Structure 1
């Protein structure tokens, strides 16, 4: 009978530990990428922010590259990006039909570049990028024409 009373607390302890261990789970952060190589080392680093700017620029340029240029008068251009000492980094051609959605993205990119330049004290060549004089459609792509061309 004495062995029986010793086994009951032991059995209760084992059962409790089993149930507790089965009910505990790790809190998995679903915001993290599944692959560790996709996770940024430091989201506040200059390298990370530059990569984010590059992605945004690529998506803007990709949006325009999907459009076919057949009539130059249907296209216009806008300054894009910002040099550290002022002025745009470049000009980008885009069709007038997407202006309402396209220009806010370009302005957002330009503002983010200005913020990046200020935050990291970026310097540039300070050469002024001259605005294009016109646009030509060549092989379905819009080509910006400058005074030098």
Structure 2
């Protein structure tokens, strides 16, 4: 039997109850214990940071010295993630020197890792927008103005 005062259903109550509702919900023949036991162990923040350093080093190695014969060969790609959204930086590279697909894959990997670390560490940021740089070719080298 329920006793006491009945209160309104609030969004906070919904958030607090959601894990229990999901765990008790129908449609799944497996138990919560089975699902949890088969989950991949989470990485630590230190492991993510170490992986980020390796991916960043690979990205910088792939970019090398962004030499180009024409500014049309110069590109900037977003890399990293601010806690409240958007890239944390841009990397300038040259399609004459770098494999564009590899640069894109490495930048996306770095961004995903930084997102993961931000969530894990409950990171906050200024929420300022990092705008794509204007690219120029100076002395045969791609660079941001």
For the aligned pair, the TM-score class normalised by the smaller chain equals 0.5 to 0.7
Tell me how far 1:131 sits from its aligned partner.
1.4
- Asked if the contact 1:86–1:126 (Cα under 8 Å) also holds between the matched residues in 2, the reply is yes
Q: Which has the larger radius of gyration?
A: 1
Structure 2 Cα separation of the partners of residues 66 and 144 of structure 1: 13
Tell me how far 1:44 sits from its aligned partner.
4.5
Structure 2 Cα separation of the partners of residues 57 and 85 of structure 1: 21
The reply on whether 1:51 has 2:50 as its aligned counterpart is yes
The reply on whether 1:64 has 2:32 as its aligned counterpart is no
The runs of 5 or more residues in structure 2 that have no matched partner are 1-41
Structure 2 Cα separation of the partners of residues 104 and 135 of structure 1: 21
What residue is the counterpart of 2:120 in the other structure? 119
Structure 2 Cα separation of the partners of residues 72 and 81 of structure 1: 24
- Compute the RMSD of aligned alpha carbons: 2.2
TM-score by length of 1: 0.59
Larger helix percent:
1
SS at match of 2:107: helix
- Asked if the contact 1:72–1:136 (Cα under 8 Å) also holds between the matched residues in 2, the reply is yes
What residue is the counterpart of 1:33 in the other structure? none
Structure 1 Cα separation of the partners of residues 66 and 131 of structure 2: 24
Structure 1 Cα separation of the partners of residues 65 and 132 of structure 2: 23
The runs of 5 or more residues in structure 1 that have no matched partner are 1-42
What residue is the counterpart of 2:75 in the other structure? 76
Structure 2 Cα separation of the partners of residues 44 and 104 of structure 1: 21
SS at match of 1:115: helix
The number of equivalent residue pairs is: 102
Structure 1 Cα separation of the partners of residues 142 and 131 of structure 2: 17
Structure 2 Cα separation of the partners of residues 84 and 125 of structure 1: 8
Tell me how far 1:67 sits from its aligned partner.
4.1
- Asked if the contact 2:68–2:137 (Cα under 8 Å) also holds between the matched residues in 1, the reply is yes
Tell me how far 1:74 sits from its aligned partner.
0.9
Tell me how far 1:55 sits from its aligned partner.
2.3
- Asked if the contact 1:65–1:141 (Cα under 8 Å) also holds between the matched residues in 2, the reply is no
